[in-house]
Structure 1
């Protein structure tokens, strides 16, 4: 993957500054939207000089890409923590858990409703901002990166057949989940409960042909 940072923070103070800038970016996405988001305002609210911003990020797009990566790591971390304490009797339980965590992040995580894993929609259901569909690594579409990361979790937890068939099935499942959950949040800003349930059933039925 290509880096979203000009340089990686090495000292604790630098790490804290980068995290503050990402925090303020997320809050501003909720408050003013992507178009009105500026590097100057992010730096001001994070209480860092604008020069410090450009030490770590190339531009606004680089900042947003870094936030997308942080969102993905947070999502995967939440799933891993839940799995460690949950009583999962079947892979469908893992599907439900992942969908529930995503929905909860949409509802509670700053900026996540505007830009979850990188794709920025200026308006609900609108056309994505150019380049944002490949925000996570600059080469592959975001859903392909998410599917690949979820594949690692799936193989760790399930006795699943390794190979291109499973890879393709997980990508299709992620694409389908993304589409239905977008519809759920267009229908209701909090996420339409009926559509969320339908999303889970859709993925259950599709993956039943690919997982034991």
Structure 2
């Protein structure tokens, strides 16, 4: 497999301003710092990070990981994200196809307190990805207190509601923006894998 320019080019051979670009999503919930992505695949995976309940925060990595060897010019490699979860810290690299094996990278990451994780976007569920992209579009929205109370009270009474019923409960803000904000912030949950979000999608209180 041929690596991309971002993988193979050294500091003298690549212009990071051309590699790392602002791409959708421009607004996120869990990102620390600027959203700068070196590929469409990385920006897509960022949407999944925002919807992953185990992810506490993530940030874009725009500097290479250096092999801590004694060589005059130690090898280096670009990854995409530093991800903090409830259990561990990860250096995540996103690949369009099957990942190359970078033999020295997992060991260097471990010595720095991280676990290296290679993600093949060809293996990602396209339904989950589309649902995540649709929801992250509303990352800059926020549900009002009144709308949150109405939706949560309805869920407490009924156990679950359809997405259409949740939208109809919104009185103060924009309907989809308010409900999507509650999903992104972990107040309510929907099944992102079964099918594309629609009016009959079941909404429940998020499990604590």
Q: TM above 0.5, one fold?
A: no
Bigger fraction of residues in strand: 2
Larger Rg: 2
TM-score, length of structure 2 as denominator length: 0.28
Bigger fraction of residues in helix: 1
